Amino acid sequence: MTSGDAWSFDTTDQVNVARVLGRFREEAGARGVFLVGKSGQLLDAAGRTEGIDGASFASLAAADFAAGAQLAELLGEDDFAALYHQGEPECMYLTDVGGEAILAALFDQATTLGLVRMQTRKVVPELETIIETAAEREAGRPRGSFMEAGWADEAADEIDKLFSD
C-alpha cells in the first residue's frame, strides 16, 4: 500500500479498529491510544484520552513522525519505524502502521516500554489488514478524502491556538 492512497473506514472497519485499539490498550497497560492518519487526521482513540484535543494531537503526532523520517534520512537510515518520548510521568510510543497511519500509545509507570513495544508488534499487522481492506474496497471508487471538508483548516487552527499567547 502506498502512502497517500485515499481510503475510508466503513462501519465494520470502525468497529474492528475500536476492538483492536481497546484490546491493545488493555494488554499493553496504556492509559490511552490513538490511531492517526499520516496526513494528521485522527482516525480513532481508546482509553483515557480526556483532556487531550484529538485533532491537535493527531496533527502534531503526524508532524513528529514526519520530522523523525527526515532525521532518519540525515543519518542515512531509510526511516525510523517508531519514536519514543519519555516524560515524567507520561511517556509516548509512536509506531508506523503500514505507511498509512501511526499508532500512538500513552503510558506511565504502570507499564513498561518493553510491554508496549511487544503488544505493538502484535497489533500493527491487524491494523494494517483493516487499512488494506479499506484501501482495496476503495480501489474501484473515485479517490477523495474521507474526512469532512475543512478538516485540514480546522487542524491548522488548532495548532495555531496551541502556539499562540
d(CA 92, CA 105): 6
Is 77 a residue whose pLDDT tops 70?
Answer: yes
Domain boundaries, the chain: 11-146
Is 142 a residue whose pLDDT tops 70?
Answer: no
C-alpha grid cell, residue 164: 499562540
Q: Which CATH number fits domain 11-146: 3.30.450.30, 3.40.50.10490, 3.30.497.10, 3.10.20.440?
A: 3.30.450.30
The more confident residue out of 143 and 39 is 39
Mean pLDDT value of segment 138-163: 58
Is 3 a residue whose pLDDT tops 80?
Answer: no
The more confident residue out of 110 and 140 is 110
pLDDT in tens, 82-124: 999 999 889 999 999 999 999 999 999 999 999 999 999 999 9
Half-sphere exposure of 38 (CA within 13 A, CB side): 20
pLDDT in tens, 16-65: 999 999 999 999 999 999 999 999 999 999 999 888 999 999 999 999 99
d(CA 39, CA 17): 18
Polymer length in residues for the chain = 165
Q: Using CA atoms in the order 61, 64, 66, 72, what is the torsion angle rounded to 10 degrees? A: -140
d(CA 138, CA 123): 23
Backbone torsions φ then ψ of 142, nearest 5 degrees:
-60, 140
d(CA 155, CA 165): 18
Backbone torsions φ then ψ of 127, nearest 5 degrees:
-65, -40
Instruction: Note the pTM of the prediction, 2 decimals.
Output: 0.79
Mean pLDDT value of segment 1-23: 81
Q: Using CA atoms in the order 150, 156, 161, 164, what is the torsion angle rounded to 10 degrees? A: -150
| Cβ-Cβ contacts under 8 Å for 158 (sequence gap 6 or more) | 53, 55, 56, 59
Q: DSSP letter string over 54-112? A: HHHHHHHHHHHHHHHHHHHHHTT-S--SEEEEE-SS-EEEEEEETTTEEEEEEE-TTS-
The more confident residue out of 45 and 140 is 45
